Chains A and B, each alone.
Chain A
Amino acid sequence: MIDIDWLKEHVQVPSDLSYEQLAKDLVKVGLEEEEIHSSQLTGPIVVGYVVSAEPEPQKNGKVINWCQVDVGDQHNATDEAGRKVPRGIVCGAPNMAAGEKVVVTLPGAVLPGDFRIEPRKTYGHVSDGMCASERELGLGDDHNGIILLRHYGFTPEEYEALKPGDDAMHLLHLDQPILEINITPDRGYAFSYRGVAREYHHSTGAAYTDPVVKLKADLPDAGAEGDIQVIVEDDNPIHGVLGCDRYYARAVRDFDPSARTPNWMRRRLIRAGMRSLSLAVDVTNYVMLDLGQPMHAYDLDKIEGPIVVRRARQGERLTTLDSKDHELHPEDLLITDSPNGQQGSRVLGIAGVMGGLYGEVTAETKNILLEAAHFDTVSVARSARRHKIPSEASRRFERGVDVDLQPAAAQMAAQLLSEYGHGQASQTPVDYRQTAPVAPISFKTSEVKRLTALEAPAQEIVDILTDIGCKVSDQGDGLLCVQVPTWRPDLKDPCDLVEEVARLVGYDQIPVTVPPAPVEGAVGLTPDQVHSRQVANELAEYGLVETLSYPFVGEEDFKDFSYDAEAIRPLSVEVANPLAGDRPYLRRTILPTLAHTVQRNLHRGVENVALYELGHVYLQDPKAPAIPALPGGQRPSDEDLAALDAGLPDQPLHAAAILTGSALETGWLGERRPVDWTDAVEAVNRLSDRLGAGLRLEQPQGVDVPAQWHPGRAAKVMAGQACVGYVGELHPHVNEALDFPQHSAAFELNLTDLFAQLSDKPVQAKPISTFPPVKQDLAFTVRDSVTADQLRQAIVEAAGDNLESIELFDVFTGDQVGEGMKSLAYSVVFRAPDRTLTSQDSESIRQAIVDKVAGLGAQLRA
């Protein structure tokens, strides 16, 4: 949250700067606007003087006050004689009293949550307005009573000057918008007014004053000994990084616990979205927002030195300030003290994340110990995440806090506590410091051009780096030695400095070029990419509608699709943190998730739903080796790379379709036919022809048909010897479970396997014969168990090269052909490439066919 009024403390902003302009200025250097929060209040909201307050006990046990409140002539009521008189207002707040100056929301005002103020009858009076609490105005959480302006930090003179009818929105800055910005994780320093003011300076050139410079000038000497003894014992550093490399502590004594936070500070904290609690806590929060240094204030009389910073021990627990109990983890870094000489025995808080209930400053605290420390980013991040307590402090430590800021922050806090709470800042602070020096970056100025094509002169580069706080020395030959500022731990590599230069010169100054086409080796889409487009287009052309579904499935889906849950679970990839707890698995086939889409359409009253989807499925192999965790920034060995892939589930591309309702419905033309297996088979056949895949169907016996499919109306789709899918009608149980019409048809194909069977050779064209064709119709009787495909194969084999086409044109069963038999009639066309076929040719082919199909028990019908 950026408040212009506060920003002014560190950088000279134009007096007429609008929040819109501020947002524009900041986005130029990479601080993006999230939102400009405008005032959620509409007036009139004014200062009121309580002329009288008559308590009236109610039947329900409550006591309300019937008050006469002077809200200024402009807003006051008018009596019968036309004179201005105070308004009558009912107020239930316990702190209401005559003589107070309060905030009155008058009829016409609108409060947050679209709360409209109107005159209303209540408790036997007409209440002509409302005296507001902090919460009602969106100022804070307090709803124990109404706002009494004498507690609002005004000087006696200022308070005296408040007149009934004064605009309270302006007085309390309720009419001011505020800018919320997004800060990328690398810019920890921009989580402070100090940092944002510097960025505003970078964007606009406005004069910037680093507040830390002055604070440092007034510092007392600090040493290892002082206000309290500090011991850092890190026996479990993460990635070898010390959990706390700086701990600065400073006492403030004889503090007045009744001192109130000044109005301006309360206002700024509340506008920043923080609660105003007590002066001591408010000051630490204020310093954190202003400088970026999270701080903690302990009651010095309650804690016993030495303070020990150490990792948690197994089994230790802590109740944090938010009253939540946590079981601590040996990676948690703790702040502890040493009661009864037992060193580090009492846990005060999780370092950089949240304090515990014990040791905090309270309404009685007179002697304060201020903590300003520097903790390891990873340690803080893990603890905050582990205990699910992200805090303003952890957010800053995670992103990196200036390692040289701690004494200045403590100095600022001490000054504020002295000024507003009459405390005495100690002159013997403690400074435990084990910070590692940061090596300078060796930076070739030519890098700017190499990466960005910007032609920035060397001097401009030096100036920019100096302006962001770097110490730059010229090594000659275009080489700079750059010592980055302590508040920019994100600047580690030359490319980081290139970004700084580029963003301050302006990305818009970078020229625009297009790299030449790198034509080398294979160009264009791969065959698989072309094929998957063909599949998608063909299915749409066949009349199906393409959809996409989420790939998550669960027990319900296993049940609907008659999958054996015990068997399928270990073969399914399981998400550890699913959005929907009842769908934690990834699909192994598309049909169950596509079915949801079909259902949704049917429930919405869409008829004849016929959908398809192309997408991946995920085949968990329970025996797959574990995937190693490997570091980034270096190429893994070939073995490690192989191990990364060996553990991944197979994820083939599938295509699936579900067809319901009418396959043919022509309206007034009167042609109508419900979907059945033939529609799914035709779709598969068209795909086969489009791809040149030569797919065939193989119909398993009833018991061998998977449970999802109709036992008599389902077939395997074969590409060569490989089964690449199933086609047919869904099992009636599945249709029933999903509320689908009977005979709904479907297919699912493994396109990855199917495409693998396709030849990538160009089609080899046959010559087109111009000799006349010979046509014959051949009808055979055959046992039911012989399939049309078997018979067809036999005919094709017998017919030889001169066969041009074969088509099944009639199928029938019944008394004429006998029990257990059927008649299949084929129309065949022969044509020779080099001559006209004679009647002898025709007859001999016919005989060959008859002989061949006899092997299947087929007989030519007369």
Chain B
Amino acid sequence: MAQDVTFDAQAVTDAVTEAIGKIGQASSLDELKAIKTEYIGGQSLMTQASKAIGSLPGDQKKEAGRLMGKLRADFGRAFGAKEAQVKAQEEAAALAAETVDMTQPVKRKPLGARHPLPKIMEDIEDLFISMGWQISTGPEVESEWYDFDALNFGPDHPARQMQDTFYVKGSQAKDAAGFVGSNMVLRTQTSSDQVRALLTRGVPLYIASPGRVFRTDELDATHTPVFHQCEAIAVDKGLTMADLKGVLDKLAVAMFGPEAKSRLRPSYFPFTEPSAELDLWFPDKKGGPGWIEWGGCGMVNPHVLESAGLDPEVYTGFAFGVGMERTLLLRHDINDMHDLVEGDVRFSEQFVMGE
């Protein structure tokens, strides 16, 4: 059949012009596909014309070939451009149809949260670790020797009443006040751990003891019978109160920011001498920056060093302690201790994973 076809340059040129016109009108890939079939498909005038070139005389072949090349290129360009345009339009329309309201809340898994109290203790641990100290922990049900006697609270020391202590029931007769006890208490301070550390780790000793302590205060806006402290002790040759002040300043800054600092006021604790109250310069104090009570500190009493078998003529040391609840109340503007101890998830959730 092909042999019957003659090469008609005008007709094929007209066909391509017509095709390009149709391409311009097309608005979908389907239309384009139909145009492609019609004008360059197997049955199209273009295809037939190409086949007809072979039967042309030699001198006309070249020119006809060139014409067909140009026409194909014209068609291809127009088609390609239009196809890309339509594809983009169709894709845009399809994606537009997939539009969602991204502001709809999505929460498949609850977030979970740490409690700020253990978290702040971790922060303090990290500070001491960064200074090359170690973190020690000890038993919460503790012998009276570690909680009191070793810390220079004798059996009748007035300070032993100052801290209202939970005693553990026992069966032995106790000498003081006709009290029947076990010689065990719920520790009133994590300092109990300091003597343990002195005995087991020896000197030089640089440790912080964060942990849970107990005193018989009823829960109210500022007190809780179960609370947390971080106490620290350093014993080495040549340590002085100047070193104590330096470490306290670092602690103040770590907890309360670069403007915070510490101040010491004369006071009394059985396990330190000289002793001091620790005041904090609190930049965010309500009603303007000012000093507030933060903890207690001092130079380790020689009797405490002797309890651990150390020579106070050779070694000196300092110790201090701060309440974690108090630190949190201040730092996060928490007005009521109840919020800190009741475990209401709405409280913890404010802190999520820490700050």
Task: Mark A residues whose CB is within 8 Å of B.
Answer: 27-30, 32, 184-187, 238-239, 329, 377-378, 381-382, 385-386, 398-399, 449-454, 493, 495-496, 498-499, 502-503, 507-508, 510-515, 517-520, 522-526, 529, 533, 536-537, 539-551, 573-579, 584, 586, 597, 600-601, 604, 606, 608-611, 614-616, 618, 626-636, 641, 644-645, 647-649, 651, 664, 666-669, 671
| Neighbour of A576 across the interface among B167, B243, B307, B352, CB < 8 A | B167
Let me know if B256 is at the binding interface, CB within 8 A: no
Chain B residues whose CB sits within 8 angstroms of the CB of A239 once the complex forms? 156
B86-121 interface with A by 8 A CB criterion: 104-115, 117-118
Which stretch, B46-54, B76-84, B274-282, touches the partner chain A? B274-282
Assuming the contacts A507-B264, A628-B183, asked whether A547 and B345 have C-beta atoms less than 8 A apart, the reply is: yes
Chain A residues in 8 Å Cβ range of B306: 633-635
List A contacts of B62 (CB < 8 A): none
| Residue picked from A185, A187, A542, A614, most chain B C-beta under 10 Å | A185
User: Knowing A536-B118, A632-B151, A651-B141 touch, does A597 contact B264 (C-beta < 8 A)?
Assistant: no
A601 contacts which chain B residues (CB < 8 A)? 343-345
Q: Which residues of B lie under 8 Å from residue A647 when comparing CB positions? A: 143, 182-184
Q: Quick check: is B175 within 8 A (CB to CB) of the other chain?
A: yes
Query: Among A513, A586, A610, A614, which residue has its beta carbon within 8 angstroms of that of B243?
Result: A513
B303 touches A633 (CB 8 A): yes
> Within 8 Å of chain A (Cβ to Cβ): is B64?
no
Given contacts A185-B159, A545-B115, A550-B226, 4 further A-B contacts (CB under 8 A): A451-B274, A495-B302, A664-B108, A667-B107
Q: How distant is the Cα of A669 from the Cα of B106 in the complex, in angstroms?
A: 8
A771 to B353: give the CA distance in the assembly, Å: 41
Query: Residue of B at shortest CB range from A666?
Result: B108
Selected from B122, B234, B307, the residue in CB contact (under 8 A) with A635 is B307
Residues of chain B lying within 8 A (CB to CB) of residue A186: 268
Chain A residues whose C-beta falls within 8 Å of the C-beta of B150 in the assembled complex: 632
Contact with A along B227-255 (1 / 0, CB 8 A): 00000001010011111011101100000
**How many contacts between A and B, using CB within 8 angstroms?**
305
B168, B178, B243, B349: the one within 8 Å of A514 (CB): B243
Q: Which residues of B contact A520 (CB under 8 A)?
A: 204
CA gap between A79 and B18 in the complex, in Å: 120
**In the complex, what's the smallest C-beta–C-beta distance from A700 to chain B, in angstroms?**
30
> Which chain A positions have C-beta within 8 A of B158?
185, 377, 381, 398-399
User: Contact at A185–B162, with CB atoms within 8 Å?
Assistant: yes
Residue of B118, B140, B181, B266 with highest tally of chain A CB at under 10 A: B266
The prevalent SS among residues of B at the interface is mixed
Does any Cβ of A come within 8 Å of B44's Cβ?
no
- Point out the residues of chain B lying under 8 angstroms from A576, CB to CB: 166-170, 179-181
Q: A632-B148, A635-B308 are in contact. Are A451 and B240 (CB under 8 A)?
A: yes
Whole-angstrom distance between the Cβ of B261 and the nearest chain A Cβ: 9
The answer to the question of B134 belonging to the interface, with a C-beta cut-off of 8 Å to chain A, is yes
Docked CA distance A273–B94 (Å): 86
**Is the CB of B30 closer than 8 A to any CB of chain A?**
no
Stretch from B7-15, B20-28, B34-42, B125-133 that touches the partner: B125-133
Considering the complex, give the chain A residue whose CB is closest to the CB of B261.
Answer: A512
Q: Which of A512, A537, A573 has the most CB of B within 10 A?
A: A512
Give chain B residues whose Cβ lies under 8 Å from the Cβ of A627: 143-145, 182-184
Q: Given A542-B112, A666-B108: A498 and B145 within 8 A (CB)?
A: no
B304 partner residues in chain A, CB cutoff 8 A: 632
A495 touches B307 (CB 8 A): no
**B193 contacts the other chain (CB 8 A):** no
Residues of chain B lying within 8 A (CB to CB) of residue A547: 115, 343, 345, 348
Contact B140 A382 (CB under 8 A): no
Contact B346 A641 (CB under 8 A): no
Contact with A along B66-79 (1 / 0, CB 8 A): 00000000000000
CA–CA, A577 and B177, complex, Å: 15
Q: Report whether A523 and B153 are in contact in the complex, using a CB–CB cutoff of 8 Å.
A: no
Q: Is B274 in contact with A503, judged by CB distance below 8 angstroms?
A: yes
When A452-B241, A627-B182 are in contact, do A611 and B111 touch as well, CB less than 8 Å?
no
B113 with A546: CB separation less than 8 A: yes
Asked whether A546 and B118 contact (CB < 8 A) given A27-B265, A510-B241, the answer is: yes
Cα(A615)–Cα(B140), bound, Å = 11
Q: Does B294 lie at the interface of the complex (its beta carbon under 8 Å from any beta carbon of A)?
A: no
With A496-B273, A525-B125 as given contacts, are A329 and B178 in contact (CB-CB < 8 Å)? yes
- Which range holds the interface residue count of chain B? 35 or more
Contacts of A545 in B (CB 8 A): 112-113, 115, 345, 348-349
B345 & A611 in contact (Cβ 8 Å cutoff): yes
The contact of B182 among A525, A611, A626, by CB within 8 Å, is: A626
Q: Which of B106, B132, B263 meets A519, CB within 8 Å?
A: B132
Please indicate the chain A residues that have their CB under 8 angstroms from the CB of B2 in the complex: none
Q: Considering residues A498, A529, A632, which has the most beta carbons from chain B within 10 angstroms of its beta carbon?
A: A632
On whether the beta carbons of A525 and B276 are closer than 8 Å, the reply is: no
Name the B residues within 8 Å of A499 (CB-CB): 266, 273-275
Whether the Cβ atoms of A537 and B114 lie closer than 8 Å is yes
Q: Tell me how far the C-beta of A529 lies from the nearest C-beta in chain B, rounded to whole angstroms.
A: 6
A441 to B234, CA, bound (A): 27
The 9 nearest A-B residue pairs measured at CB: A30-B266, A517-B132, A547-B343, A635-B309, A499-B274, A184-B268, A632-B149, A597-B343, A514-B246
C-alpha spacing A517/B348, complex, angstroms: 35
B176:A382 contact, CB within 8 angstroms: yes
Are A586 and B184 in contact, CB atoms less than 8 angstroms apart?
no
B218 interface residue per 8 A CB criterion: yes
Judged by a CB distance under 8 angstroms, whether B327 is at the interface is no
Nearest chain A residue, comparing its CB with the CB of B115? A546
Contact call B199/A548, Cβ cutoff below 8 A: no
Given known pairs A515-B243, A604-B344, the reply for A575 and B307 (CB within 8 Å) is no
Within the complex, the shortest CB–CB distance from B195 to chain A, in Å, comes to: 9
Given A502-B241, A514-B247, verify A574-B183 contact (CB < 8 Å): no
B-chain residues with CB within 8 Å of residue A544 when the two chains form the complex: 110, 112
Asked if A512 and B273 make an inter-chain contact with CB atoms under 8 angstroms apart, the answer reads: no
**B283 interfacial contact with A, CB 8 Å:** no
Contact of A518 among B132, B174, B316, B341 (CB under 8 A): B132
Residue pair B145, A632 in contact (C-beta under 8 Å):
yes
- Residues of chain A with a CB closer than 8 A to B226's CB: 550-551
A574→B169 contact, CB < 8 A? yes
The chain B residue with its CB closest to the CB of A501 is B274
The reply to whether B156 and A378 contact each other, CB–CB distance below 8 Å, is: yes
Q: Are A649 and B345 in contact (CB under 8 A)?
A: no
